Amino acid sequence: MLCSMIMIEYLLENYIIWPWDITDESNKHMLIEIWKEMFSNHFPVDLTMKECPMLIGVMRRSSEEKDSFLASSYEFKILLKGDILMQTHRKLNLETLSDILFTFKEEFDENEQYLSFNFVKKTSLCWDIILEITKYLSLNDAVTIFSIDILHLLRKYKVRLPIVEPSDRFMKTMIKNIDNEQIVSLHLKENQLRSTIELASASIFTNIISVTLINLQHVNQINEFQTCFPNLICLSLCYNNEIDFHRLCKIFNHIQNPIKRFEIHCDYILCSHRHTSHFFSKINNLNFTIEYFLLDMTHGSMTWRNNCSQYHKTCVLMTTTDFIQIMPNIRYVHLIVNNINIDKLLDINNWKGLVMRCHHLEKITLKTNKSISQDTQLTENILKIQQELSNVNDVDVSSDDDDGSDISNYDIDLIDHSPFPNDCQNEVQGIEFLCQYFMHRYNACPTFLIGSLEEACQEAFSSIIIKERRPVLVYIHHDKNLLTNRFCWNILCSEMIIDYLLENYIVWPWDITFESNRNILIKIWNKIFPSQTSIDFSLEQCPMLIGIMRESLYKKDSSSTSEYEFTVLFKNETLTSTEETFSLKSILNELSIFKEECDDNEQALVSHGYLFIYFCLIFNRNC
C-alpha cells in the first residue's frame, strides 16, 4: 500500500517522509530518546510489533497552544496504528489511508496560514478574550475587525456566527472563504435578500437554520427559501412599525419550508376584525409544522391605541389567537409586551378557546418589560386565568413559587407542559415526568433509569458477571434547542436505538430547559466527577450524549477521587470523535465503539484485581 504508485506520487508532492525501524531493541530505545528531545515527552504509545506499522503526522505547534512551559515547537498526531486509522477507527485500505493523509495535510495548511498572521501579537489580546468578543459579533463584523484570518480560529473552535446585513463587497470577496458550517443564521433587510442570495453560491447556505427579515413587504421572495435554505427551521419577521395579519396571511401562503419556529417583532397589531373571516379564508393551507410562535410588541413604548372597528378592548388578543389557530400543531406561544399593555391580553375566553382548539399546546408565556407584582388586581386576574386553564384538556398550570411561575417574575406562564418541573430536587419525580413527556410528544421513550445518576452507575457495574455490566449513557435534553425535536424523533425514540440501548446501556436522562435544573445537574456532576474536567451544559451544546465507564487503570492515580470517567460522545449535531453530523447509523456506531471500550476496560480491571489478589497471597505465604 505504501509503495503503490499512487501513494508514492501523493507523498512526494505533499509530505516529507522520515522513516525509522524498531526491529532491534536498540533502535527502539534510540527512537524514544529522539522523540523526547524533539517533543519534550515520552513516545505516546508502546513501541511493540503489535502497534506497527505506524504513521505519525508532525506540524508546527498551533500558536494558541504555545506557552512558556512547552519547549517543543512542534506537535504530532498518530494517524495509523496497526491496521486501524486513529481518527475514524476505520480499517486500513488505500482509500481510507488516502483520506486520513489528505485530512491531515488540510489541517497542516490551515495551521501554516494561521501562523502567518498572529492575532495575539497584533491586538495584544489573548485567545480566550478574542473568542469571547466574537460571540457578540456577526460573522461579517468579525472578519472586518480581525481580518479574514479569524475564520481559522472560529472553525477550529466550532464557533458559529450569524451574517447580519452584509455589504455587497463582503458577499463578493469574503463569502467564498467561509466554511458553510460556520453560517447558521442570516439577518437581512428586504432589499438585501435577493442580492445576498445571488452573490453567494447555493452551497454556502445549506446549513442556515434561521432567517430574520426586516420590513418584508414583497412576500413572493419567500418562494425562494425552500431552494436556498433547505434546512430552515426558524423564520423571524421584524417591522419598525405596526403590522396587520392580512399581510402575515399572505406570507403564510408562500412558506414552503417545514419551519418549526415563527417569530414576529413589531410595534403593534392592527385590528382586522372588519375583514377577519375574509383574511383567514385566504389561507390556502394550515401550517402543520410550526410548533413555536413568538410575538414581540415592545418596539413601541406607548400604550396601545384602540383602533378596533368593533371596539373590543382585547382586540390584539382576539386577532392573535385567531391567527395562532392556523398553526394546529403549535406547542409554545410566547407573547412579549410592555407592562402597561398586559391587561389587554388577559381575557380568559380567548385563551380557553385557543387551548381547546390547539390540542398540542403545552405552554403559554406572557413576558413583560417590568415587574407587575405591585398591581394586586392584575395579579389576581392572572392567577384566575391560570386556575381556569388548568381545567381545560387537563393542562398543567404553574401557579406558585415552587414551580417557577411567581408573578413577581417578568415571565408569566399561563400553562406549562415542560419536560421537567422547575428546580427539580427529586430525581425520581423529574425522570418520571420526562418519561410521560416523551410518550406524550414522541409516542415512544427509551428505558430510562428512574433514580439518581449515582444509582445508575451502581446498577451498571455492580453485577459479578462481567458480561452483564454495561456503560451508563447520560442524555441531556433542552427543549428550546431547535435540534432537540429532530434528534428525539429520528434517533433517540427510534425502535432500533431503543432496543439497542435496552440491551447494552443504562440510560440516565436530565433536562436543563430551566436554569435551576442546569445548576442541579452541575452539582450532581461535580459530586461524581470532582477531579475531572467540567462540561459546558448549555443550550448550544444540546442535545448531548455522554458515556460513563469505571475509571481505567492507566488513569488511576493517588489524586483521583472518582470511581468513574466520562466521554462526551455527541453534542448539538456532531459526533465528538469523528466530527460527523449525526445520523442513525453514525450514532449506533459511536455507541457500539464506546460499549466495546467499556467491555475491554471491565475485563482489564477484573484481571488486575485477580493479579493483585495473587501477589497478596504470595506475599503472605512468604511472610
pLDDT for res 614: 45
Give the range among 328-342, 362-376, 391-405, 534-548 with minimum mean pLDDT: 391-405
For residue 543, is the peptide bond before it cis, meaning its omega torsion is within 30 degrees of 0? Answer: yes
Give me the mean pLDDT over the 118-125 stretch: 62
Paired with 332 in beta bridges are 292, 363
Closest CA to 143 of 155, 134, 132: 134
Instruction: Tell me which amino acid residue 523 is.
Output: K
Q: Confirm if 301 and 340 have CB atoms less than 8 A apart.
A: no
Closest CA to 418 of 521, 538, 517, 525: 517
Give me the mean pLDDT over the 125-138 stretch: 78
The grid coordinates listed for 408 are: 413577581
The SS3 call for residue 602 is: helix
The SS3 call for residue 388 is: helix
pLDDT for res 523: 92
Give the range among 78-82, 112-116, 524-528, 560-564 with minimum mean pLDDT: 112-116
Alpha-carbon span 441 to 425, nearest angstrom:
24
DSSP 29-62: HHHHHHHHHHHSS--SS---GGG-SEEEEEEEPP
Instruction: Tell me which amino acid residue 1 is.
Output: M
pLDDT for res 408: 41
The grid coordinates listed for 185 are: 443564521
Please give the backbone phi and psi of residue 412, each rounded to the nearest 5 degrees, phi first: -115, 115
Instruction: Kindly state the percentage of the chain with pLDDT values over 70.
Output: 79
Give me the mean pLDDT over the 253-279 stretch: 75
Give the range among 70-84, 278-292, 401-415 with minimum mean pLDDT: 401-415
Q: Confirm if 446 and 521 have CB atoms less than 8 A apart.
A: no
pLDDT for res 398: 40
The answer on pLDDT for 508 being more than 60 is yes
The grid coordinates listed for 274 are: 372588519
| H/E run at residue 120 | helix 119-123
Instruction: Tell me which amino acid residue 73 is.
Output: S
Q: Where are the domains of the chain?
A: 5-115, 427-609
CATH class of the structural domain 427-609: alpha beta
pLDDT for res 450: 92
Alpha-carbon span 111 to 153, nearest angstrom:
10
Burial of 547: CB neighbours in 10 Å, binned 0-12, 13-18, 19+: buried
Q: Confirm if 74 and 59 have CB atoms less than 8 A apart.
A: yes
Angle at 394 between CA 391 and CA 396, to 5 degrees: 90
Alpha-carbon span 364 to 396, nearest angstrom:
11
Alpha-carbon span 193 to 186, nearest angstrom:
10
Secondary structure in 3-state letters for 549-593: EECCHHHCCCCCCCCEEEEEEEECCEECCCCCECCHHHHHHHHHH
Q: At what angle do helices 245-254 and 315-324 cross, to 10 degrees?
A: 10
Instruction: Tell me which amino acid residue 495 is.
Output: E
Count of C-beta atoms within a 10 Å radius of residue 119? 20
The set of residues, in sequence order, having a beta carbon less than 8 Å from that of 389 and lying 6+ positions away, is 348, 351, 352, 355, 364, 395, 397, 414, 415
Residue 405's pLDDT band, with cuts at 50, 70 and 90, is: very low
pLDDT in tens, 33-57: 888 888 767 677 778 888 889 999 9
Q: Confirm if 390 and 396 have CB atoms less than 8 A apart.
A: yes
Residue 19 vs residue 193, higher pLDDT = 19
The answer on pLDDT for 406 being more than 50 is no
HSE-up of residue 272 (Cα within 13 Å, Cβ side): 24
The set of residues, in sequence order, having a beta carbon less than 8 Å from that of 90 and lying 6+ positions away, is 84, 96
Residue 445's pLDDT band, with cuts at 50, 70 and 90, is: very high
Alpha-carbon span 582 to 573, nearest angstrom:
6
The answer on pLDDT for 86 being more than 60 is yes
The set of residues, in sequence order, having a beta carbon less than 8 Å from that of 15 and lying 6+ positions away, is 101, 105
Is the dihedral angle over the CA atoms 33, 38, 42, 43 positive or is it negative?
negative
Residue 496's pLDDT band, with cuts at 50, 70 and 90, is: very high
Angle at 275 between CA 269 and CA 281, to 5 degrees: 100
